[in-house]
Amino acid sequence: MELIKRGKIIKGVGGFYTLLCDDGKHYVCKARGLFRKNGQTPLPGDDAEFTVDYKGDGFIKSILPRRNELLRPAVANVDMLLIVVSASEPLPDLELADKLLLYCQKQEIEPVLVINKCDDGENPACDNIIGQYRNALDRIVAVSAETGYGMEELRKMLAGNTICLAGQSAVGKSSLLNSLLGLNLKTGELSAKTERGRHTTRHAELLPMHSGGLIADTPGFSMLESVPVEPEEIPGMYPDFSEYSGACRFKGCMHMSEPDCGVKRAVANGSIDEKRYNRYLKIANEAISARRHRYD
C-alpha cells in the first residue's frame, strides 16, 4: 500500500521537485506524466500529495487547488507581498505601490508596505509615505535592511507565511531578502549566492526565512503582468475611500466628475490624502481608456 504524504513544493528544476514536509524533511519527486495530461505545471508554493516507493523515489500524485499564482516570480499560494519603497533614494514610485495594492486585492494576497532605508528610524520621508497609506492597508512598516531598524517587527509579521518581494529597482529588495534569510552578506555577495546564474531559465525557489515561513529568491521584480481590472471595480479596492463613499449621492460613484461625492469631500477636507486620490484618478482613467481600446 502506498502511503500518501503531503508537502509544499519549494523548487523545481529539470522535472525534479523538492518538497518540504510538515516534519521538516525534504523529498525530491518527479511529477510523472500527470501534469502534461491536464496541463498543470507544478510551481514552487504548490501544496502537493506525493508517494515514496520502496526504492525511495518520490512521485507527485496531485496538486491541491491554488489560492493564487504569480507569474514573475512564478510562485503559487503567496500569502503576502512585500511592496518595498525607499525612504531615501530612489524616490518612491507610489503609483507602482498603488497598482501593486490593487494586484494584491485581485489575487487575495495580504500586502505589506515596507518602507526601507529608514536607517536611523522613522524620518520625514517615511512619515509622508505612512501618512498617504494610513487607512489604505493594515500593515505598514519602516525598516532598514542596512542597520536592522524595524526588522524584528517585520520578521514577526511574516513568520509562517509564503512571501514575495516587489518594488522598483534599488529600493533594497535583495538586501531585505538577505536579512530575512538570516544571511549577513553584502548585497554583492548575496547576488553570488541567491541570484546565481543558471544556464537556462531562472526558476523561482522558496527559501526558509530565519523566523519561519518561505520567501521567493527572485528579487528581480517585474510584475508587468497587469491584472485586468474593470474601472467600476477600482473604487471598491480602496479601503481608505470606503468610510466616505457611503455619502456619495450616486450608487456606483467613481468619485470623478459626479456631483455630491463623499470621497471628493473627504479629499477636500484632508481626510483622504490628496496625492493618493490624484493617483487613483490616473489609475481609474487608465482602466477606462484600456477598456475603450479593448472594444475599439
Per the DSSP assignment, residues forming a β-bridge with 81 are 111, 164
**Interface with ligand GTP, residue 171, by CB under 6 A:** yes
**Interface with Mg ion, residue 172, by CB under 5 A:** no
Q: Which residue is nearest to ligand GTP (CB)?
A: 172
Q: Could you give phi then psi for residue 185, rounded to 5 degrees? A: -105, 160
**Interface with ligand GTP, residue 155, by CB under 6 A:** no
The one among 13, 71, 91, 170 contacting ligand GTP by CB under 6 A: 170
**Interface with ligand GTP, residue 179, by CB under 6 A:** no
The one among 94, 253, 284, 287 contacting Zn ion by CB under 5 A: 253
Number of residues that bind Zn ion (CB under 5 A): 5
Number of residues that bind Mg ion (CB under 5 A): 3
Q: Per-residue contact track with ligand GTP, 229 to 268, x per CB under 6 A? A: ----------------------------------------
* CB burial of residue 60 (10 Å; 0-12, 13-18, 19+): buried
Distance of CA 96 to the CA centre of its chain: 13
When CB distances are held under 5 to 8 angstroms depending on the partner's kind, the choice from ligand GTP, Zn ion, Mg ion, none that residue 216 binds is none
Q: 148, 79, 68: which is closest to 107 by C-alpha?
A: 68
Strand order in the sheet with 206-208: 140-142, 110-116, 80-86, 162-166, 214-216, 206-208
**Interface with Zn ion, residue 272, by CB under 5 A:** no
The one among 58, 219, 235, 262 contacting Mg ion by CB under 5 A: 219
Residues 6 or more apart whose Cβ sits within 8 Å of residue 32? 59, 60
Distance of closest approach, residue 202 Cβ to ligand GTP, in angstroms: 13
When CB distances are held under 5 to 8 angstroms depending on the partner's kind, the choice from ligand GTP, Zn ion, Mg ion, none that residue 170 binds is ligand GTP
Q: How far apart are CA 213 and CA 9, in angstroms?
A: 13
Distance of closest approach, residue 270 Cβ to Zn ion, in angstroms: 17
Per the DSSP assignment, residues forming a β-bridge with 140 are 113
Distance of closest approach, residue 107 Cβ to ligand GTP, in angstroms: 21
**Interface with ligand GTP, residue 174, by CB under 6 A:** yes
Q: Specify whether the CB–CB gap between 234 and 287 falls below 8 A.
A: yes
Residue linked to cell 518561505 = 214
Widest Cα–Cα separation across the chain: 73
Which CB sits closer to ligand GTP, 111 or 235? 111
Footprint of Mg ion (CB under 5 A): 173-174, 219
